[in-house]
Each structure stands twice: as structure tokens, then as C-alpha cells.
Amino acid sequence: MKLESLIRLNRAIRVIGFDDAPFVRRRGSQVAIAGIICANTRFEGMVWGRVRQDGWNATDTICKLLIGGKFLPQLHILLLDGIAFGGFNVIDLPLLSQRLALPCVAVMRRQPDIIAIEEAIHRLPQPEKRLKILRRAGTIHEFGPFFFQVCGETPEITAAVLQRLTDCGKVPEALRLAHLIGAAIVKGESGSCA
């Protein structure tokens, strides 16, 4: 069922939210990622994987965690905490949406500093390739407390869905839980969600 219909009929929206766990910056190290499945704001399941710091495998890793698994057929939307994990392992948002046949959204807590991001990327190998993937994610939209990029759905429907998936504040619950659980597994206790 399409997101617009789920909102109109007041039906549960099944979402997975991905965030990377805390990591020590060492070239080529592995960074844990948590994917938390919720029905609206109720926790329903979890996947766990690893990506390479500043690598190229974040998009493939997310796909491998979901394709062929029990959760993908139940999902209506996928959320990412930002457009990159483990530093600048940039996620190809249109490709992710296409491969999973789901709307995919990179959610940000504030308007990103594009100049600072580009400067940081230019200190890494193959900066132009990273910037090309980053630009493929499209326009950063601002609706209420949310900043996001989306592929596979309109910004207006996406903003309504984000509101529905957020218990309080400006972080959808699946992303808030991914942040807390990732920190608890890596550090032994959860940290605050900024």
C-alpha cells in the first residue's frame, strides 16, 4: 500500500531506520550499523551490519541486510541518519530506492554545511566519485523540524510520514532507537540522541 493511502486510512507505517554506531577513526576500519524496524513508533525488529570507514560499501551492505530477509516485504519506507555512514561511506540514495523498491530518505537534524562537507571529501581518495554519489541524492527539503533528501516519494508525503514516525522532537523513532542501540552495543551504554 502506498504511503499516501496509509496516512489517509490511519494505518501503521512500517519503517526501518539505519544509523552508524560510534567508531574510532582509523583508515579502513569496520563501522557497525543498526537498522531498527518500527510500526509507526513501536519497535518490531532489528538488523545489524558493518561498513568500511570512508569506504564504498554502505549501499550494498544495506541491500544485503534486507534483500531476501523477512523484513523487506513488510516495509513501506527506509530512513537513513544522514547520507553517509562511517565518515564518508556515501549511500547512493536513488540506487538504494531502486534496488529495494522502497522510498528512501536521508534525514538530517539540521541544514548541512555543504562547503565543509566538500572540503572534508576532498581529503579522501576519489573525491569526485564521492561528490557525484552525494549529489545524486538530490535537493535537501525543509518541512517543519525535518531536513531530508528523498527518492521514491514526494517531499510533501515524506514530511507527513516523518511526522507520523516521530514520537517527540525532530528525530523519527526508528532513527532514535538505531542511534541508542548502536551506541549501547559498541560502548556498553546508550548515549544521548542529538
pLDDT of residue 193: 52
Domain boundaries, the chain: 3-183
> What pTM was estimated for this model as a whole?
0.94
pLDDT of residue 194: 46
Q: What is the pLDDT along the chain (194 residues), one digit of tens a residue?
A: 799 999 999 999 999 999 999 888 877 789 999 999 999 999 999 999 999 999 999 999 999 999 999 999 999 999 999 999 999 999 999 999 999 999 999 999 999 899 999 999 999 999 999 999 999 999 999 998 999 999 999 999 999 999 999 998 889 999 999 999 999 988 888 766 54
145-148: list long-range contacts, CB under 8 Å, 24+ apart: 145/169, 145/170, 146/107, 146/170, 147/107, 147/108, 147/109, 147/110, 147/111, 147/112, 148/105, 148/106, 148/107, 148/108
pLDDT reported for residue 192: 60
Domain formed by 3-183, architecture = 2-Layer Sandwich (3.30)
Question: How large is the angle between the packed helices 127-136 and 114-121, nearest 10 degrees?
Answer: 140
Amino acid residing at 96: L
